[in-house]
Amino acid sequence: MPEAQLLSGKTVSESVYASLNSRITHLKEASITPGLAVILVGENPASQVYVRSKTRKFEKLNLYSETIRLPDSCSEEKLLEKIQILNADDRFHGILVQLPLPKSIDEQNVLLSVAPSKDVDGFHPLNLGLLTAGNPRFIPCTPKGILRILEHYDIDTDGKRVVVVGRSNIVGRPMSILLSLKRNPGNATVTLCHTHTQNQKELTRSADILISATGVPESISGDDISEGAVVIDVGINRVEDDSEKGYKLVGDAEYDSVIQKATALTPVPGGVGPMTIAMLVENTVEAAERLLSP
């Protein structure tokens, strides 16, 4: 079997940024600079890394971003008050509440409080409803990034069997809906697996395209996939090792065994991760462009 193709999200993201340049210029000519407000509650190390990566990319593109840092002790009421202020602030076309939130705060209440027109993560129930109806306003960033990878590398989904492992509202559930819609990429027959799925291996082995978004390190092996499958690995997991850093990043897929059977695979790091940030930028630009519509 030929060597598997690595699906580089880094390469695809650079093409996305190149395509956004003229759109950003057009907005700035209309005195609109796309702006993003990021709310970070607490000291979660992974969240801090993600937020730094996001804001760094906005700065590099000369877009406006501001990070609002709140302590772990912040009450839900104070957080909701801050979101209402940002909803009314014209500098911000997008608002992102970095998850997870402290356990004392009701995540759903917070996501509901973000103005749907500024919900660039696509997590508001109204936006999830529009997506389910096949008329999305904002597509959640990671699923949207996966669609772009499939498009860029001409991976056909029409009539294919897709198995999505993981049912979160952030990745798994919207991904399963998007690929079942009458669109391209889409028109697939989609199975959604989760922690209560029986005979999961039987299902994953039947997949033409396997998308894993469980956050369980190296839980998908070569034995779990069919010969010639396309594997989209959403997981980014820290695993301790003997290196100078003390850890390495691995995906949900066990790379060495999966690469032997797959025709294509997203690497970790450098696969889906860069696309999530690129789609956040694009969604923020789209939110700003709506101000130009009559």
pLDDT in tens, 116-130: 999 999 999 999 999
| Bridge-based pairing state of the strands 35-41 and 64-70 | parallel
Domain with CATH 3.40.50.720 in the chain: 140-274
pLDDT value for 283: 98
Q: Write down the residue that tokens 């004392």 correspond to.
A: 104
Q: Are 121 and 141 in contact (CB under 8 A)?
A: yes
Domain range 30-117, CATH class = alpha beta
Task: Provide the 3-class DSSP secondary structure of residue 65.
Answer: strand
Cis peptide before 217 (omega within 30 of 0): no
Q: Is the pLDDT confidence value at 1 over 70? A: no
Whether 72 is catalytic is: no
Using the predicted structure, report yes or no on whether residue 266 has a pLDDT greater than 70.
yes
Distances (CA, A) of 170 to 12, 73, 277: 21, 25, 14
Per cent of the chain over pLDDT 90 is 90
- pLDDT attached to residue 238: 85
Q: Which helix (H) or strand (E) holds 35?
A: strand 35-41
Tokens of residue 120, six digits = 């660039």
Q: Poorest-confidence range of 18-27, 59-68, 80-89, 235-244?
A: 235-244
The catalytic position among 98, 119, 224, 252 is 98
User: Count of CB atoms within 10 A of residue 21's CB?
Assistant: 10
Residue 44 CA to residue 14 CA, distance in Å, equals 28
Instruction: Please give the pLDDT value at position 135.
Output: 95
Confidence tier at 33 by pLDDT (50, 70, 90):
very high
d(CA 12, CA 35) in angstroms, rounded, equals 23
> Three-class SS of residue 77?
helix
**Top-confidence residue, 165 or 243:** 165
Report CA 190 to chain centroid distance, whole Å: 19
Please provide the average confidence, as pLDDT, over all residues in the chain: 95
With 0-12 / 13-18 / 19 or more C-beta atoms within 10 angstroms meaning exposed / middle / buried, residue 91 is: exposed
| Mean pLDDT, rounded, for 203-223 | 97
- Cβ-Cβ contacts under 8 Å for 32 (sequence gap 6 or more): 288, 291, 292
Q: For residue 294, is pLDDT > 70?
A: no
Residue 240 has what pLDDT? 87
Q: Yes or no: say if 193 and 200 are a contact pair by the CB < 8 Å rule.
A: yes
What does pTM read for this prediction?
A: 0.95
What does DSSP assign to residue 220?
B
Task: Name the band, by pLDDT with cuts 50, 70 and 90, for residue 2.
Answer: confident
49 has pLDDT over 90: no
Q: What is the mean pLDDT of residues 143-170?
A: 97
pLDDT category of residue 3 using cuts at 50, 70 and 90: confident
Model confidence at 138: pLDDT above 90:
yes
Is 54 among the catalytic positions? yes
Average pLDDT on 251-270 reads 96
Percent pLDDT > 70 in the chain is: 99
The active-site residue out of 119, 121, 224, 233 is 121
Q: Which CATH architecture has domain 140-274?
A: 3-Layer(aba) Sandwich (3.40)
Model pLDDT, residue 44: 84
